[in-house]
């Protein structure tokens, strides 16, 4: 930073000219304007669409049930009467057509036999049922075999099997029905049945995030999703602007503008002017996003899940800006070194790949962060300067790390960035004027010594 200040004082006008040029060049681009407007729109869609779908598109699913065991049906109907989930989302139909039932029954038996003798035949569904599903007359078919009590196996056939909520509901309902049946059969004392049922009843967790301001109700899903979401934004902005700088450097190198620039001002002014100019453009974009996001939230706050609102605090916004700036400097220096050292875009992609990995690794560690943000591995990696901007930010977003750790991570990464800038400016000076051939070690030493 001191370097930058010194260059500013000595060369104020020239570096300003470069900063302004770089800033304007980015901000005037169509892609910049589109991304600036489109990203909040996508963000809004990301938040609102699932919400709208659950509210407006509350579609009842029609599930047909073939109960060969004949022990589930009665109890299931009993449960359905008072169940909120069934009332809102499911329509259950028990099949009575015996002919079809028999046909399917033998198909199931064939399948079960093939499992036993390990010939592994495919599961076959009677054509009528199959067509009903494919024609979207029903959303699913649940087959409960005769021997369910022993095998505890049920068959569920549908086009879409990823409705976890429904799967869980069907499984646990049948499980409960079966267990109470078995208990009632074997134990005569209804008091004991009740005790066992109580003992094995499922647990419903209510999740709270504890912060200094107090406890906020949340679901683990929201915190995880939101922190991955913020990490994605940070990642794409760092990558995007890093690559912009890299390509800009290669362009100047290829059309030799760089020779004119170097003969008019020093390399440091060029290097820092570029990074600062493009960085300001990035900050403008992120700033616009934040303001737009804030306005959108204000307008539609009633509709948004409270756990999301609780997540997006002003504090988090400030940390986002801090880590964006640090991360931006760090990665744009790396990208500009690559740009200065290569001659073509293809070469650049190749050499930039390791930098991309550095940005992707936090995503992998990210899962650990959400599970436990305070394990030594997570703390250690979040203090490692190259990962700090992403991982420390993620830790802050899911839990509140010790303030001393946040400060330490900022200090370490700022120190690292200054070191990187010093070295980067030197390498930039050598690389940017080398065409086609690699500089010799002797030459590099000569330039590093050069003042």
Partner 1 sequence: MDNTMLELCGLIKDFDGKRAVDDISITLKKGEILGLLGPNGAGKTTTIRMIMNIIAPDSGDIKILGEKFNEKLKDRIGYLPEERGLYRKMKVSETLQFFGRLKGMNSAFIKTRGEELLKKFDLFDYNDKKIEELSKGMAQKLQIITTIIHSPDLLILDEPFSGLDPINIELVKDLILEMKREGITIIFSTHLMDYAEKIVDSIVMVSKGKKVIDGNLNDVKSEYGKKFIKINYDGNGEFVSTLKYVKEFKDYGKEMEIELKDIKDKEKLLKDLVSKISINSFSLTEPSLNNIFIRNASGDSDLPGE
Member of 90, 249, 261, 425 binding partner 1 (CB under 8 A): 261
263 binds partner 1 (CB under 8 A): yes
Specify which residues 155 forms β-bridges with: 143
The number of residues in the chain equals 451
Residue 416 corresponds to which tokens in the numbers above? 């690292």
* Residue 331 beta carbon to partner 1: minimum distance, rounded to whole angstroms: 24
Neighbours of 388 (CB within 10 A): 28
Q: How far apart are CA 57 and CA 158, in angstroms?
A: 20
Three-state DSSP state, 187: coil
- For residue 445, the minimal CB distance to partner 1 (Å) is 11
- Examine residue 264 and tell whether it contacts partner 1 (CB under 8 A): yes
Q: Which of 71/278 has CB closer to partner 1?
A: 278
Establish if 34 lies at the interface with partner 1 (CB under 8 A): no
Task: Determine if 292 is a binding residue for partner 1 (CB under 8 A).
Answer: no
Q: Which of residues 402-441 bind partner 1 (CB under 8 A)?
A: 433, 437
* Near partner 1 by CB under 8 A: residue from 1, 6, 21, 291: 21
Q: Does 262 bind partner 1 (CB under 8 A)?
A: yes
Shorter beta-carbon distance to partner 1: residue 24 or 121:
24
Query: Could you say whether residue 447 binds partner 1 (CB under 8 A)?
Result: yes
- Binding status of residue 254 toward partner 1 by CB under 8 A: yes
> Which among 7-15, 41-49, 299-307, 320-328 is the span making contact with partner 1, rule CB under 8 A?
7-15
Residue of 97, 127, 259, 315 interacting with partner 1 (CB under 8 A): 259
Name the one range near partner 1 by CB under 8 A: 13-21, 112-120, 134-142, 206-214.
13-21
Q: How far is CA 296 from CA 48, 144, 331, in A?
A: 11, 49, 31
Query: Binding pattern to partner 1, positions 150-179, x when CB under 8 A?
Result: ------------------------------
Centre a 10 Å sphere on the Cβ of residue 23 and count the other Cβ atoms it contains.
Answer: 20
User: In terms of CB distance, is 47 or 275 closer to partner 1?
Assistant: 275
Give the tokens for residue 351.
């050499």
C-beta of 209: minimal distance to partner 1 in Å?
Answer: 47
State how far the Cα of 118 lies from the Cα of 238, in Å rounded to an integer: 53
Q: How far is the CB of 438 from partner 1 (least distance, A)?
A: 10
Three-class DSSP category at 207: strand
Closest approach of partner 1 to the CB of residue 10, in Å: 8
Q: Report the run of H or E that residue 210 belongs to, with start and end.
A: strand 207-211
CB of 243 to partner 1, least distance (A): 17
**Tokens of residue 266, six digits:** 């020093």
Q: Which is nearer to partner 1, 257 or 295 (CB)?
A: 257
**In the bound complex, what is the minimum distance in angstroms from residue 345's beta carbon to partner 1?**
16
Identify the burial level of 202 via C-beta atoms within 10 angstroms of its C-beta, where 0-12 means exposed, 13-18 middle and 19 or more buried: exposed
C-alpha distances in angstroms, 162 versus 90, 134, 174?
15, 16, 19
Report CA dihedral (203, 206, 207, 210) to the nearest 10 degrees: -130
**Residue that has been written with the tokens 């646990």 in this structure:** 172
Cα–Cα distance for residue pair 127/104, rounded to 1 Å: 9
256 counts as binding partner 1 under rule CB under 8 A: yes
* Per CB under 8 A, 138 contacts partner 1: no
What's the CA angle centered on 330, arms 248 and 317, to 5 degrees? 105
Beta-bridge mates of residue 209: 216
Using the rule CB under 8 A, is 260 a contact of partner 1?
yes
How many chain residues bind partner 1 (CB under 8 A)? 30
Interacting residues toward partner 1 by CB under 8 A: 10-11, 13-14, 16-18, 21, 24-25, 28, 252, 254-257, 259-266, 433, 437, 443, 446-447, 450
């Amino acid at each position: 930073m001191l370097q930058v200040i010194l260059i500013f004082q000595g060369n104020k006008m020239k570096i300003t000219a470069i900063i302004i040029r770089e800033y304007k060049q980015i901000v005037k681009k169509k892609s910049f304007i589109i991304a600036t407007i489109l990203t909040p729109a996508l963000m809004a869609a990301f938040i609102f669409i699932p919400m709208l779908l659950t509210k407006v598109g509350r579609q009842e699913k029609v599930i047909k049930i073939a109960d060969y065991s004949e022990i589930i049906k009665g109890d299931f109907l009993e449960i359905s009467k008072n169940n909120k989930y069934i009332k809102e989302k499911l329509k259950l139909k028990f099949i009575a057509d015996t002919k079809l039932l028999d046909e399917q029954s033998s198909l199931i038996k064939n399948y079960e036999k093939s499992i036993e003798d390990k010939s592994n035949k495919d599961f076959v569904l009677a054509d009528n049922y199959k067509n009903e599903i494919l024609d979207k007359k029903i959303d699913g078919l649940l087959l409960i075999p005769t021997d369910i009590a022993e095998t505890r196996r049920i068959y569920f056939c549908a086009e879409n099997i990823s409705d976890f909520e429904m799967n869980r509901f069907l499984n646990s309902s049948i499980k409960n029905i079966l267990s109470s049946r078995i208990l009632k059969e074997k134990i005569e004392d209804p008091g004991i049945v009740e005790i066992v049922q109580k003992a094995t009843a499922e647990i419903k967790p209510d999740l709270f995030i504890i912060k200094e301001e107090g406890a906020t109700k949340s679901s683990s899903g929201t915190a995880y999703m939101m922190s991955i979401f913020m990490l994605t934004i940070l990642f794409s902005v760092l990558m995007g602007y890093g690559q912009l700088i890299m390509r800009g450097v290669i362009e100047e190198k290829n059309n030799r503008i760089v020779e004119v620039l170097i003969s008019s001002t020093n390399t440091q002014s060029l290097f820092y002017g570029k990074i600062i100019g493009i960085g300001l453009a990035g900050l403008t974009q992120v700033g616009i996003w934040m303001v737009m996001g804030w306005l959108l939230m204000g307008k539609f706050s009633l509709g948004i899940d409270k756990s999301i609102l609780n997540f997006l605090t002003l504090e988090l916004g400030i940390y986002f800006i801090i880590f964006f700036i640090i991360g931006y400097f760090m990665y744009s220096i790396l990208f500009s070194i690559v740009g200065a050292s290569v001659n073509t875009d293809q070469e650049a992609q190749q050499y930039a790949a390791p930098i991309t990995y550095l940005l992707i690794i936090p995503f992998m560690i990210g899962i650990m962060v959400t599970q436990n943000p305070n394990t030594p591995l997570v703390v250690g990696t979040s203090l490692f300067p190259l990962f700090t901007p992403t991982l420390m930010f993620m830790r802050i977003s899911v839990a509140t790390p010790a303030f001393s750790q946040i400060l330490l991570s900022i200090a370490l990464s700022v120190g690292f960035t200054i070191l990187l800038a010093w070295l980067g400016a030197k390498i930039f000076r050598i690389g940017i004027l080398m065409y086609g051939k690699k500089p010799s070690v002797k030459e590099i030493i000569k330039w590093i010594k050069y003042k």
